[in-house]
Amino acid sequence: TTGGSTGGGDWDGTILVGTTDKVTTLDPAGSYDNGSLTVQTQVFPYLVNTDYNSTEVVPDLAETAEFTSPTEYTVTLPAGLKWANGHDLTSSDVKFSFDRNIAIADPNGASSLLYNLDSVETPDDTTVVFHLKTENDQIFPLILTSFPGAIVDEEVFSADAVTPDEDIVAANAFGGPYMITSYDFNNTIQYEPNPNYAGLLPAAENKTVIQTVFADSSNLKLAVQEGDIDVAYRSLSPTDLDDLAGNSDVQVIDGPGGEIRYMVFNFDTMPFGAKTAEADPAKAQAVRQAMAALLDRQAIADQVYKGTYTPLFSVVPDGFFGATQPFLDKYGDGSGGPDADQAAKILADAGIQTPVSLSIQYNSDDHYGPSSGDEYAMVKDQLEADGLFTVDLQSTEWVQYSKDRTTDVYPIYQLGWFPDYSDADNYLSPFFQEDNFLGNHFSDAEVQDLIRQQAVETDESARQAEIEQIQDRMSDLISTLPLLQGAQVAVAGADVNGVVLDASFKFRYAPVVKG
């Protein structure tokens, strides 16, 4: 499908977006990564969504969306919806989308997020009923705004396999604010507004968007600096951002970030861990707390990340519903700085001989950005500064790292997290529930109860209290030691307006205009 004109003067309203996020595939059933999600957000409809600068889940494609019983989430669609290619968009497409996602269960897909979905029922063309496994799941609507929530055209997509990008583009099977009019895999994507889009969000204000994938952030930086592109979104290096901040040709736009960086403790193998020779849970906890007292997160954020990350003082990042900062109050000098005396005291009270030897592992090949090495060099430096710890810092390449970390090879190690949906729960359930992905042998009945409870709590303030309680307890137990929270940053030309970075963590192209 070629179309549109290539004439020179026609580019005026075009917005050029650059990113370093690669696209795995256009098909929502086959991807679980930010690059793909950014594209899918523009071109596929979602039943519910969050409006700009809001975290409240509201109907998008849907007319209404609500719990009609504790295990039934019912969505009604307006009549007469169309895909960009003219096919009818009905409840059948919706059911098809979720059923295929679960059926395909692609290794690269996010079908695992639909863990609570039992079945989808379509009483009529405009009604969809989601039958859930547990009652009152407050998380399910949030998941519908995210990876597995995209609705696809059942006449184009395959029911049992990931559909190739070229087929999707060729069939113009889009229903979001945009449709793709030119697609060069992992190079350029051209979007034009979808005339048939009838969702919640305002229609696109620009005529054309061209998204270019850059491999290297410094090239992205030069491109935006030179005006070759209008917006650079994810991921400019701290150095680049620092440099651009002083450049009047561009504007640096910040938004809340959901990305966090933290250390994980293996409760079996860390010093005094359950499987070590001198196993002692209390001493192990003292070690973790002493480490927390010695960190200077601000220094790392400033030196390594030039302010693109901010200190993180809780397992739930700042800006989320219910987030608190228990680490700030409990450890260090009270204002985020380190407190060696406190650390020494914690260790001494627990009867621990200093220095304590720690082995800390981090990932070497840019999985969490190129600055991990610098970050952990500083962590090591800070922990060793007062002679309380000696740190053996090592790194491993990603695939091996992933295997090793769940097989108890690393006593203390680095991880990062980017949320699947924007809710505090996404920082709790996956981490501290029974079968959490960390697999670090942490288990605490009280925390687990609380997590289960907040997930089905329909009363907001009660839920907030529960979430705060979990954070407080985790700051004592310290299964993970939060370090930094990332901001979303976009750099745009001085004449670009409408770049909104909000807690949805989706950069939506529709409102972006030039001039």
Partner 1 sequence: MGVRARLGRLPVIRQVRQSVGLQRGMLVAGLVITGVFAILAIFAPLLAPYGFNQLKGDDGVSFGAQDPPSLAHPFGTTVGGYDVLSRVIWGSQTAFFVIAVAIVLSIFAGVLLGLVSGYLGGWLDRVLVVIADAVYAFPTLLLAIVAAIVISHGQSNLVGGVFAAAISITVVFIPQYFRVIRAEAVRVKAEAFVESAKVIGASTWRVMFRHVLRNSTRTLPLILTLNASEAILTLAALGFLGFGIEPTSAAEWGYDLNRSISDVTSGIWWTSIFPGAAIVLIVLGLTLIGESLNDLADPRLRTRRRSSDAAGDDGAADDDIEVVPGGAIDADAPADRERA
Partner 2 sequence: MTAATVPAAPAAPSAPRRRPRPAGGSLGRYILVRFLLIFPTVFILVTLVFLFMRTTGDPITAALGGRLPADQLAERIHEAGYDRPLIVQYVEYLGHVFTGDFGRTLTDNQLVTDVLFRYGGATLELALYALLVAFAVGIPLGMLAAYFRDRWPDAVFRVFAILCYATPVFFAGLVLKLVFAVWLGVLPSSGRAGPRNEIALGRLENPTGVYLIDAIRLGDPAILGDVLQHAVLPAIALGLLTAGIFLRLVRTNVIGTFAMPYVDAARSRGVSEYRLVRRHAWKPALIPIITVIGLQVALLLGGAVLTETTFEWKGLGFELAQYLQARDFVAVQGIVALLAVIVAVVNFLVDIAAALIDPRVRY
What residues make contact with partner 2 under the rule CB under 8 A?
Answer: 2, 4, 6, 8, 11, 14, 16, 18, 22-25, 27, 30, 32-33, 105, 107-108, 112, 162, 164-165, 182-188, 190, 210, 212, 214-216, 219, 222-223, 226, 228-229, 365, 367, 398-403, 405-407, 415-417, 430, 435-437, 439
For residues 341 and 348, give the distance between their C-alpha atoms in angstroms, rounded to a whole number: 10
Strands (E), 151-237: 178-184, 188-193, 208-213, 231-233
Query: CB neighbours of 34 closer than 8 A, spacing ≥ 6?
Result: 21, 234, 418
- Give the one entry of partner 2, partner 1, none that residue 381 binds, where binding means its C-beta sits below a cut-off of 5 to 8 angstroms depending on kind: partner 1
Instruction: Tell me: does residue 249 bind partner 1 (CB under 8 A).
Output: no
**Shortest distance in whole angstroms from residue 431 CB to partner 2:** 11
Instruction: Tell me: does residue 198 bind partner 1 (CB under 8 A).
Output: no
Our CB check for partner 2 shows the closer of 22 and 473 to be 22
Strand partners, 212: 18, 188
When binding is defined by CB under 8 A, the residue of 243, 280, 444, 472 that contacts partner 1 is 243
**Shortest distance in whole angstroms from residue 261 CB to partner 1:** 16
CA torsion 163-14-513-146 (nearest 10°) is 10
DSSP 3-state of 123: strand
Our CB check for partner 2 shows the closer of 229 and 477 to be 229
Task: Spell out, one character per residue from 291 to 320, where the chain touches partner 1: x when CB under 8 A holds, - when not.
Answer: --------x---xx-x--------------
Our CB check for partner 1 shows the closer of 167 and 408 to be 408
Among positions 20-49, residues that touch partner 1 (CB under 8 A) are none
Instruction: Tell me: does residue 402 bind partner 1 (CB under 8 A).
Output: no
Q: How many CB atoms lie within 10 A of CB 384?
A: 16
Handedness of CA 5, 6, 9, 12 (dihedral sign): positive
Strand partners, 73: 67, 130
By rule CB under 8 A, what count of residues binds partner 1?
38
Q: What is the DSSP string of 257-276?
A: ---EEEEEE-TTTSTT-TTS
Strand partners, 190: 182, 210
Amino acid identity of residue 297, one-letter, is R
**Shortest distance in whole angstroms from residue 22 CB to partner 1:** 16
Strand partners, 394: 361
Strand duo 48-50 + 57-59: pairing: antiparallel
Q: How many CB atoms lie within 10 A of CB 187?
A: 11
- Give the one entry of partner 2, partner 1, none that residue 402 binds, where binding means its C-beta sits below a cut-off of 5 to 8 angstroms depending on kind: partner 2
For residues 219 and 325, give the distance between their C-alpha atoms in angstroms, rounded to a whole number: 37
Instruction: Tell me: does residue 261 bind partner 1 (CB under 8 A).
Output: no
Q: Report CA 168 to chain centroid distance, whole Å.
A: 26
Our CB check for partner 2 shows the closer of 30 and 311 to be 30
Task: Spell out, one character per residue from 332 to 371, where the chain touches partner 1: x when CB under 8 A holds, - when not.
Answer: -----------------------------x--xxx---xx
What DSSP character marks residue 82? B
Point out which residues bind partner 1 (CB under 8 A).
216-219, 221-222, 225, 237-240, 242-243, 299, 303-304, 306, 361, 364-366, 370-371, 373-374, 376-378, 380-381, 385, 392-397, 400
